Chain A
Amino acid sequence: MQINFIQMVLIIIFSIWCIYDYLNTKLFYHCGQCVVMGWVTGLILGSGTVGLTVGATLQLMTLGVAAWGGSSIPDYPLGAMMGTIVAIASGGDVEYGILVGVPVAVFAVQLDVFVRMLAVFFARAAKNAAASLRMKESYTWIATGWLTWSVKYLVPLILLFIVGPDKVVALIDKVPAPITAALKVVAGMLPAVGIGILLRYMNAKENVSWVILGFAVATYLGLNVTQAAVIGLAIALIAFKMNTGEVSVATNGGDDDEL
């Protein structure tokens, strides 16, 4: 399948919007950035379903892996865009998308470090302008600083358009079957990283009973995540009420006055 110029431009504009949104308004933040970005890329190229599948597969590998405190992490949303483009070029085979998406996501870490350094120059320029109260100039530097981040998406995307997704498909066809099979095993294992990070984040060691409960309802009762979340919500509400019940007598007076 040939990608025309208008489609390329649309994909690039969309990717830049995604950067702005990720940093500021975060409208795609909670619904799986990979899924949204794969889906829209797919829609632009005429097959939303392929985009949804590539995006969702990558999303499940990365649940919980988030860039806290200015750290750099693999960029799976970019992987979802590139993967979708290649998958559609191959005639709709999702496997191609995954094979492209994962390495792209991992290599994008380098670009992430680069754009964060690039943004430092904008921040410094803004600081210098503010030091002599040229506020308009300062605000302009700040308001355009996020554009440095779009380099992270523009370079791989334009590279892919120049090389041609068809060539990438042909290249993947030359990859020996055992390597593809090994990568499939890896794809099944990768979600463990995000889960591990989240467990550490929520101090699983001290609250191991909830971990066991969650594992048990999913494994032995076969509940899905939403169903487990409903049970979790009930327990969380009980815990919250029990904890605040103990202190409500002590805080009711003082607190309300201050607000």
Chain B
Amino acid sequence: MSYNILTKEDLNKAKTRYVFGSGLCPGYELQAAPSMVFTLGPAVRKIVTDDDEYKRVLDSLFTYYNTNPYAGGLIMGSCLAVYEDANVDIDKKIEAVSAIKTGLMGPLAGIGDAILSSLPMTIFGSLCSYMALEGNPTGIFIGMIFSAFMTFFAKRWLYEVGYVSGSKFLDSHSRQIKNLTKAASILGLIVISALMASTVKLSTPLKIVNGDMTIVIQDTLNKVSKNLLPACLVVFVYWLLGKKNMTSVKVILTVIALGIVGYFIGIFG
């Protein structure tokens, strides 16, 4: 799909700009769009030499854009390939790039955030935390090796894949990507649910005194299942998150309030 306007060196430069500048100017309104201009700008200038056409390209790039930065490499690469296509006039190019941008950023954010960000963050984050609690910083370096691999290899590789396959990538691989997402979410769900048992801590000091008999509620709960209260709390949070206009900040504040009130009326402790 290459039309040989960009040399290998140009492409490498574009990738390097993306590796070191995928989130340079993140504000409301445009989000990652300025970064997209920063990473694509010089390479596109080499392709689009006419000043007026280049202005229009830049104008079209300065519109809302936001996705997972690793998966976003696919978008960068595809867009670059579209600009380079000599058979298409500038209007069609601008239109096609906007379509790739707006069409892919949503799905790629979903897949990328789940598999490439959340899941590894949770696994390495908990590994690293438990080691750190024992005074051992080794976990930090294990995580950093993975991060470095993602930044310096995966980001570039996805950029290359996007560039080589142009806009067709997601069409031809949508099935594999779906499968990968499904498999990864199985791993994710098992890890996260296991994490719940070791990190969420909630118990009750309640006792029922009946003559000589004292029933410790927590012991009764443990007989049903260990970690019953933490599991209930997670289900409550899960339900809360599904409510309209609910943000993670509101949920955090709710949990803080619940904990403080629960402690003072004596049901949590």
Q: Which residues of A contact B (CB under 8 A)?
A: 23-32, 35-36, 39, 48-49, 52-53, 55-57, 59-60, 63-66, 68-74, 106, 109, 116-124, 126-127, 130-131, 133, 135, 138-139, 141-143, 145-146, 148-149, 178, 181-183, 185-186, 188-193, 195-204, 207, 210-215, 217-220, 223-226, 228-229, 231-233, 235-237, 239-240, 243-244, 247, 251, 254-255, 258-259
Nearest-neighbor residue (CB-CB) of B229 within chain A: A189
B22 at the interface (CB under 8 A from A): yes
Looking at chain A's contact residues, the main secondary structure is helix
Nearest-neighbor residue (CB-CB) of B140 within chain A: A31
29 A-B pairs with C-beta separation under 8 A: A25-B19, A27-B148, A31-B125, A56-B133, A60-B126, A66-B118, A116-B27, A122-B27, A123-B34, A133-B54, A141-B25, A142-B34, A143-B38, A145-B26, A146-B24, A178-B264, A181-B269, A185-B202, A188-B259, A192-B233, A196-B237, A201-B114, A224-B198, A228-B191, A229-B187, A229-B194, A236-B186, A240-B182, A251-B175
Would B252 and A74 count as touching, CB distance under 8 A?
yes
Looking at chain B's contact residues, the main secondary structure is helix
| A73 CA / B248 CA spacing, docked (Å) | 7
| A120 CA / B45 CA spacing, docked (Å) | 25
Would B191 and A119 count as touching, CB distance under 8 A?
no
Would A30 and B124 count as touching, CB distance under 8 A?
yes
Most A Cβ at <10 Å: residue of B55, B130, B189, B196: B189
Q: Which residues of B contact A244 (CB under 8 A)?
A: 176, 179
Q: Which residues of A contact B193 (CB under 8 A)?
A: 199, 210-215, 218
Nearest-neighbor residue (CB-CB) of A207 within chain B: B189
Interface residues of B in 148-207 (CB under 8 A from A): 148, 150-151, 164-165, 168, 172-173, 175-176, 179-180, 182-202
The smallest beta-carbon distance between B163 and chain A, in angstroms, is: 12
Q: Interface residue tally of chain B, by bracket?
A: 35 or more
Q: Which residues of B contact A39 (CB under 8 A)?
A: 132, 137, 140
| A27 CA / B141 CA spacing, docked (Å) | 10
Would B125 and A59 count as touching, CB distance under 8 A?
yes
A30 in contact with B120 given A138-B37, A217-B194 (CB within 8 Å): yes
Q: Which residues of B contact A (CB under 8 A)?
A: 19-31, 33-35, 37-38, 41, 45, 51, 54-55, 58-59, 62, 66, 69, 109, 113-114, 117-118, 120-130, 132-133, 135-137, 139-144, 146-148, 150-151, 164-165, 168, 172-173, 175-176, 179-180, 182-202, 225-227, 230-231, 233-234, 236-238, 240-242, 247-249, 251-253, 255-256, 258-260, 262-264, 268-269
A31 in contact with B117 given A185-B268, A197-B248 (CB within 8 Å): no
Would A240 and B180 count as touching, CB distance under 8 A?
yes
